[in-house]
Amino acid sequence: MSTVAVLRRLLRLSAPPWGRLTVAVLAGVAAAMATIGLLAGSGYLVSKAAFRPGLGAIAGLLAGVEVLAFVRAPLRYKERLAAHDAAFRALTHWRVWLYDQLEPRSPAGLGPWRSGDLLSRAVDDVDALQDLYLRGLVPLVVALAASAIAVVVVGLVLPAAALVLGLSLLVALVVPPVIAALTSPGRGREAVVRGAVGAEVVDLLQGAPDLLAFGCEDQFLEQLESADDELARLARRRALAAGLTSALLTLLIGAAVVGVLVVGIEAVRTHRLSPVMLAVLPLAAIAAFESVPAVTAAASRLGDVVAAGRRLLALEGIPIPVVDPDRPEPLPEGCPTVALREARLRYADDLPWALDGVTFELAPGSRTAVIGASGAGKSSLVNVLLAFWPLSEGQATLGGVPLERLAQDDTRRAIALVDQEARLFAGTIGQNITLGRPAASALDVDEAVRQAQLRSWVDTLPEGLATPVGEQGARVSGGQRQRIALARALVAGGAVLVLDEPTAGLDDTTADRLLADVMAAGGTHTVLLVTHHQRETDGFDTVIVLDRGRVVSLDDPYRRVGVRIRR
């Protein structure tokens, strides 16, 4: 995607807050004009006063200069506030856009984006977009407008001087930003090396025990140091460019000042310019250059914005794994049977099968446990049942209806999930419990709280269910968090409960107690427990052992309740 295309797309997505942007730009231009007016006006004032024309002749000028001196700072203040406000308004749209990109692809369709690191980087990237207006377009437009106006004003005094000033401003507005953009640290080799150094630092520090034990630390340090050397070398080379830019700007100011002065002196000699106006020219030139350095900064900011935007826009290219059918079938009534027949799934054509011919049936009210090591296909099973990812081959049915013919939300209404290390959201315990059904009656909530064995704990809290759980449930212990997740699944009202490693991260005693309560709370629900602990499968009707996506063993006790396996 070209830079212009990225910028255009980002602009469109932000629903540009034109009102604030206009205020910001107008205030910025007015402030720049005030600066020019203050300096050039003072130059004119003292030149005129030097001829001692009497106070009356310069009173208006004096007042004008003082007014400009007073208004400049408030104008800048207004510009800053309006630009920030615009940036935040745009941010809302960008963030909602990002959410909309991630939502239909989450969790299975995000591939590597699923990792917490990439997600938080996406959030950083989206926040970096603020600079598109704040440190990018607003200062750019202000500088361009202020330069243009300065040239026009000088032109009214002496056209030849305007030509000199215009030319030097033109070069100053174009060349340094181009140099800055070409040598920006976010580009090319330096960005690559910087990334490599970062990754090696993480490896070195987090893998330090392994490296030290195997005596490899020096080898790694040397590797890192040679990458670091290259980084420093590249940075030093960039320093030359940065120095060049700043020197070039000074030279251009010099050219403008000397140029307008020479043209002005000549004009005074030929009586095309009144001598008292001479001082206006160099002073206006100096002031006109004041907003120019912001353009260079804006150019490199915009470079960063485009890089962040490009990474984010790549999200649009990731296919959405599950799309609702045009005319979804209604959800079967009552407690439906869940069945998988010869189910095969892989996440990409060049990846191994995550599920490789899995067949089983969960009869209403049955208790089934799936065990297997990590990577055996347990989470893929959960992905299929919750309609997060479609089967590549075979069939998954709910009450006899293939999942792909149901609306995703209907499937998820029938199948409630207690997820691994359940995620709670900032809010109260009650709000977290009613996440799936905000309209749940107090009676239903009470019942779920009782079944999840939360009652006695909740009763000890002064604010009861209205107690905040803290950010990401930080103020709730692991066991309580899983119980809240259980109550949440119960309130949601699905007939099938899928428990995805609900005891991960809990100590044995807490885990055992939680599972016993799950079994009791399950009641008439169909329960599917996914776990990697053999110990936790006691009391289940059926135990399915998964390995590399296949069912390798089936412990199907004679007490089984309506679970039939075909192989």
Partner 1 sequence: MPPPAAERRFGGLIDRRLSARVALTRRYLVLAVSVGVAATACVVAQAVLLATIIERVVLHRATLGAVRPEIIALGLTFGARAALGWLGEVAAQRTSATVTSVLRRQLLRHALDLGPGWLAGERAGELSLTATRGTAALDTYFGRYLPVAVLAGLAPLGILAWVAYTDWVSSLILVGMIALVPIAMIFFGREATKRTRRQWRRLSSLSARFLELIQGLPTLRAFGRGDQGRREVAAATEGLRQTTMGTLRVAFLSALAMEFLAGIGVGLVAMVLGLRLLGGTISLYTALAVLLVSPEVFLPLRRAGAEFHASTEGQAAAERILSVLDQPVDKRTRREGVAPRSATPIVLANIAVTYPGRDTPALEPLDMTLESGEHVALVGPSGAGKSTTLAVLLGFVAPTTGTVTIGGVDLEGMSLSQWRRSLAWVPQRPYLFSGTIAENLAIGDPGADTAMLRHAAELAGLGELIDQLPRGLDTVVGDGGLPLSAGERQRLAIARVVVRDAPVVLLDEPAAHLDAHTESTLSHSLAPWFEGRTVVVAAHRSELVQRIDRVIHLGQLQEAST
Give residues 532-561 in contact with partner 1 (rule: CB under 8 A).
534
The DSSP string of 256-275 is HHHHHHHHHHHHHHTTSS-G
Stretch that binds partner 1, among 220-228, 311-319, 511-519, 522-530 (CB under 8 A): 220-228
The CA distance from 158 to 164, in Å, is 10
CB atoms within 10 A of CB 38: 21
CB-CB neighbours of 413 under 10 Å: 17
User: Nearest distance from residue 523's CB to partner 1, in Å?
Assistant: 20
CB of 354 to partner 1, least distance (A): 12
Among 6, 21, 38, 384, binds partner 1 (CB under 8 A): 38
Total residues at interface with partner 1 (CB under 8 A): 139
Separate counts of helices (H) and strands (E) for the chain: 19, 10
Site string for partner 1, 332-351 (x = CB under 8 A): ------------------x-
Would you count residue 4 as binding partner 1 (CB under 8 A)? Answer: no
Q: Out of 102, 143, 312, 543, name the contact with partner 1 by CB under 8 A.
A: 102
Considering only residues 10, 23, 42, 481, which one is a binding residue for partner 1 as defined by CB under 8 A?
Answer: 42
Instruction: Tell me the closest approach of the beta carbon of residue 150 to partner 1, in angstroms.
Output: 16
Q: Which of 19, 159, 188, 198 binds partner 1 (CB under 8 A)?
A: 198
Element housing 500 (H / E)? strand 496-500
- Cβ proximity to partner 1, 70 vs 538, nearer residue: 70
- Of 528, 496, 511, 538, which is closest to residue 367 (Cα–Cα)? 528
Q: How far is CA 538 from the centre of its chain?
A: 44
Residue 54 backbone zone (phi > 0: left; psi -120 to 50: alpha; other: beta): left
Contact 320, 387 (CB under 8 A): no
- Which residue among 13, 14, 25, 85 contacts partner 1 (CB under 8 A)? 85
One-letter amino acid identity for 123?
A: V
For partner 1, give the closer residue by CB, 49 or 144. 49
Which residue of 152, 229, 272, 520 would you call a contact of partner 1, by CB under 8 A?
A: 229
Binders of partner 1 among residues 371 to 400 (CB under 8 A) are 372-375, 386, 388
Determine, following the binding rule CB under 8 A, whether residue 45 of this chain makes contact with partner 1.
yes
Does 317 interact with partner 1 (rule: CB under 8 A)? no
- Confirm or reject binding of residue 288 to partner 1 (CB under 8 A): no
* SS3 per residue for 312-372: HHHHHHCCCCCCCCCCCECCCCCCCCEEEEEEEECCCCCCCCCEEEEEEEECCCCEEEEEC
CB of 198 to partner 1, least distance (A): 5
Q: Which two tokens stand for residue 267?
A: 């004009």
For residue 418, give the DSSP letter. E
Residues 474-533 interacting with partner 1 (rule: CB under 8 A): 488, 492
Least Å from the CB of residue 258 to partner 1: 5
Q: Shortest distance, CB of residue 376 to partner 1, whole angstroms?
A: 8
Rounded to the nearest whole angstrom, what is the least distance from the CB of residue 8 to partner 1 in the complex? 23
User: Is 70 one of the binding residues for partner 1 (CB under 8 A)?
Assistant: yes
d(CA 338, CA 347): 22
At residue 567, what is the residue type?
R
Q: Which of these, 179, 157, 172, lies nearest to 288 by C-alpha position? A: 172
Rank residues 108 and 465 by Cβ distance to partner 1 and give the closer one. 108
Backbone angles phi, psi at 542, to 5 degrees: -135, 140
Residue 222 interacts with partner 1 (CB under 8 A): yes or no: no
**Between residue 239 and residue 278, which ones bind partner 1 under the rule CB under 8 A?**
239-240, 242-244, 246-251, 253-255, 257-258, 261-262, 265-266, 268-269, 275-276, 278
Q: What is the DSSP string of 157-206?
A: H-HHHHHHHHHHHHHHHHHHHHHHHHT-TTSHHHHHHHHHHHHHHHHHHH
Residues 6+ apart with CB under 8 A from 464: 429, 458
Structure token pair of residue 250: 């000074």
404-463 positions binding partner 1, by CB under 8 A? 408-409, 412-413, 416-417, 419, 422-423, 425-426, 435-436, 438
> Terminus-to-terminus CA distance in the chain, angstroms?
50
Among residues 8, 178, 210, 516, the one that binds partner 1 under rule CB under 8 A: 210
Among 11, 15, 26, 81, binds partner 1 (CB under 8 A): 81
Q: Sheet with 542-547: list strands edge to edge.
A: 415-418, 496-500, 526-531, 367-371, 542-547, 550-555
Whichever of 252 and 362 has its CB closer to partner 1, that residue is 252
H/E stretch holding 92 = helix 55-102
CB of 508 to partner 1, least distance (A): 10
Residue 215 binding partner 1, by CB under 8 A? yes
Nearer to partner 1 by Cβ, of 12 and 269: the residue is 269
Q: Which of residues 112-131 bind partner 1 (CB under 8 A)?
A: 112, 116-117, 119-120, 122-123
Q: Which of residues 353-372 bind partner 1 (CB under 8 A)?
A: 372
DSSP annotation of 332? P
Q: Show Cβ contacts of residue 482 under 8 Å, excluding neighbours closer than 6 positions.
A: 418, 422, 502, 503, 506, 514
The token pair that represents 527 in the structure block: 């329960």
In angstroms, give the least distance from the CB of 217 to partner 1.
Answer: 5
Nearest distance in Å: CB 533, partner 1: 11
**How many angstroms separate the Cα of 203 from the Cα of each of 114, 189, 227, 415?**
21, 21, 14, 41
Q: What is the 8-class DSSP label of residue 377?
A: S
Closest distance of CB 472 from partner 1, Å: 6
| 224-243 burial code (b ≥16 CB/10 A, e <16) | beebbebbeebeeebeeeee
Q: Which is nearer to partner 1, 504 or 560 (CB)?
A: 504
- Min dist. Cβ of residue 346 to partner 1 (A): 12
Q: Is 236 in the site for partner 1 (CB under 8 A)?
A: yes
**Residue from 5, 208, 516, 554 in contact with partner 1 (CB under 8 A):** 208
